[in-house]
A and B are shown apart, each in its own frame.
Chain A
Amino acid sequence: NAGVTQTPKFRILKIGQSMTLQCTQDMNHNYMYWYRQDPGMGLKLIYYSVGAGITDKGEVPNGYNVSRSTTEDFPLRLELAAPSQTSVYFCASSPGTSNQPQHFGDGTRLSIL
């Protein structure tokens, strides 16, 4: 029972580099989400998707891109890494029906130097 799997767990990037954070879920959930958590702060929604081929911006989308070509995968792309993007990134999924909780991966800790 893998649930939501995120890779990598840790990564250090240089300013201006790009990378993709991977997220996959095996629960056949329609909805998927990307959050970032900064120290002492709650989770902020970056992007979400309600199904394959459909994505939408959350609270803090600037500097990120997403795609959803399959139900299972929801990668998050950083094109030009900036120090302000140093954070812990969490991917989550939910069935999409009303009043259902989200299931989270264990996060990717990203440092940009």
Chain B
Amino acid sequence: DQQVKQNSPSLSVQEGRISILNCDYTNSMFDYFLWYKKYPAEGPTFLISISSIKDKNEDGRFTVFLNKSAKHLSLHIVPSQPGDSAVYFCAASGNTGNQFYFGTGTSLTVIP
């Protein structure tokens, strides 16, 4: 039972344009959400997070939006750069913080 879902396996965007990656979750007890970036043959690296008390968190070119009523979060990358080409995973955890649930990932390709 997939509690965190990324319904788009892949996304292609032109360099300089906005990339929008989406993620949906089913468990209303989740209160902490993260995005990770993964290059081939490497482990995931933390990118940005948001807690459920916020609806937006921004870090440079990366912004995460959280819509709790829709159980939906999105990652915006502006402007997109070729180095952003990677697989992006969203993840969520509940108030115990012991377990993180991951989506299946979206492969982003930024075309120069």
Of A33, A43, A103, most buried by chain B (CB within 10 Å of CB) is A43
How distant is the Cα of A100 from the Cα of B98 in the complex, in angstroms?
11
Say yes or no: A41-B32 contact (C-beta < 8 A), given A90-B43, A96-B97, A99-B49. Answer: no
CB contact list, A32-54 vs B, under 8 A: 33, 35, 40-45, 48, 50
The total of interchain contacts (Cβ-Cβ below 8 angstroms) comes to 60
Q: Contact: A4 with B43, CB < 8 Å?
A: yes
B7 at the interface (CB under 8 A from A): no
B104 at the interface (CB under 8 A from A): yes
How distant is the Cα of A44 from the Cα of B100 in the complex, in angstroms?
9
**How many whole Å from A4's CB to the nearest CB in chain B?**
7
B41 at the interface (CB under 8 A from A): yes
Give chain A's interface residues, CB within 8 Å of chain B: 4, 31, 33, 35, 40-45, 48, 50, 56, 58, 90, 92, 96-107
Give chain B's interface residues, CB within 8 Å of chain A: 2, 4, 6, 9, 32, 34, 36, 41-46, 49, 51, 89, 91, 95, 97-105
